[in-house]
C-alpha cells in the first residue's frame, strides 16, 4: 500500500543514539521515491557539524544547530514530502540532559508541530560506537524517556517503531499508511484536518493520528499508559492519616 502524502508532509524520525534513525530515514525516503512520491531526505545537521568541527558542540552552540535542522526541514517541505533524520527536539533533549538547559524545548516543540508524522525508534537494537556523537549505551534510556516526556507534555503524537531490518521498516511503513489513511477519511468527510484552507484537506496531522501499540490490539494503550504514568508522577503525595510506618512490600 502506498500512502497519499501531499507536498509539505514531514515524517520525522526521532530516537536515542544507535537506534537506527538514519538507516530507517534513508529506507523510508527511498521507498517513497520508488513509489512515485517526490521525497527529500533531510540528514542530521549535528553529524555534519561534528564532522566539520572535529568536536561536539558547546552549550552556547546548541540553539544554532537546532535552528539549522529546522530551517532545512522547512526548506525541503516547501517543495516535496520530507523524511527527516531527527529534528530540533533531539537537540533540545541533549541540551537539557548534558547542560541542564531546557530553553530550547519551546522552539523545538513548536517546529515539531509542523511534522505530520513522528516515528520514535525503539531501544531494541544493539548499541554501536560511531565517532563523536555516541556517548554509550547507558544514555539511551534516559534520552528515550526525555523524548517521550517532551512529546507527551506538548500533546504531540508519535508511534514507536520496533523490530530489526526489514521488520522495522515495515512497521514504520504501516504507521505512515495508518496516518495517511485516516487523514484521507477525514478529508472525504469534508473536515479540514489542518483547520485552515481547503488545500490542507487530507493531509496527515496530529489530529488524525492513531496510537498503534506493538504489544496488543488496543491502539490507545501505549499513549494512555504513558500519559497516566506522567500524571501519576506529577500528582501530589496524599496527606498521611497515620504516623505509623507502613511495612515494606
* Residue-wise burial string across 174-193, b where 16 or more C-beta atoms lie within 10 A, e elsewhere: ebbebbbbbbbebbeeeebb
Q: pTM value? A: 0.75
- What one-character DSSP code corresponds to residue 79? T
Mean residue pLDDT of the chain comes to 80
More confident of the two residues 211 and 58:
58
More confident of the two residues 80 and 201:
80
* Percent of the chain whose predicted confidence (pLDDT) is above 90: 61
The C-alpha atoms of residue 175 and residue 170 are separated, in whole angstroms, by: 9
The C-alpha atoms of residue 23 and residue 125 are separated, in whole angstroms, by: 12
The C-alpha atoms of residue 118 and residue 116 are separated, in whole angstroms, by: 7
Alpha carbon distances (Å) from 94 to 54, 100, 136, 152, 227: 18, 9, 13, 17, 22
Could you report the per-residue pLDDT of 156-212, keeping only the tens digit for each? 999 999 999 999 999 999 999 998 888 766 655 554 433 333 233 334 443 443 334
118 membership: H or E segment, kind and range: strand 117-121
The Cβ of residue 3 has, within 10 Å, a number of other Cβ atoms equal to 22
**Grid cell at residue 162:** 520496533
Amino acid at each position: 500500500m502506498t500512502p497519499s502524502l501531499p507536498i509539505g508532509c514531514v515524517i520525522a524520525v526521532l530516537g536515542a543514539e544507535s537506534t537506527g534513525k538514519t538507516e530507517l530515514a534513508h529506507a523510508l525516503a527511498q521507498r517513497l521515491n520508488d513509489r512515485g512520491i517526490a521525497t527529500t531526505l533531510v540528514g542530521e545537521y549535528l553529524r555534519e557539524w561534528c564532522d566539520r568541527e572535529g568536536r561536539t558542540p558547546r552549550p552556547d552552540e546548541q540553539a544554532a544547530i537546532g535552528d539549522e535542522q529546522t530551517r532545512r526541514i522547512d526548506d525541503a517541505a516547501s517543495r516535496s514530502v520530507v523524511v527527516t533524520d531527527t529534528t530540533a527536539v533531539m537537540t533540545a533533549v541533549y541540551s537539557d540532559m548534558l547542560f541542564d538547559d531546557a530553553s530550547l524545548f519551546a522552539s523545538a516543540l513548536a517546529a515539531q508541530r509542523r511534522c505530520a508524522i513522528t516515528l520514535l525508534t525503539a531501544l531494541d537494537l544493539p548499541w554501536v560506537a560511531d565517532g563523536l556523537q555516541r556517548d554509550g549505551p547507558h544514555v539511551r534510556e534516559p534520552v528515550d524517556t526525555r523524548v517521550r516526556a517532551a512529546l507527551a507534555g506538548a500533546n504531540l503524537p508519535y508511534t514507536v517503531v520496533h523490530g530489526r531490518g526489514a521488520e522495522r521498516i515495515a512497521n514504520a511503513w504501516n504507521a505512515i499508511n495508518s496516518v495517511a489513511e485516516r487523514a484521507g477519511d477525514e478529508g472525504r468527510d469534508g473536515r479540514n484536518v489542518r483547520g485552515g484552507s481547503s488545500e490542507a484537506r487530507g493531509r496527515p496531522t496530529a489530529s488524525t493520528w492513531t496510537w498503534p501499540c506493538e504489544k496488543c490490539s488496543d491502539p490507545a494503550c501505549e499513549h494512555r499508559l504513558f500519559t497516566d504514568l506522567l500524571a501519576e508522577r506529577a500528582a501530589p503525595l496524599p496527606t498521611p492519616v497515620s504516623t505509623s510506618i507502613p511495612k515494606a512490600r
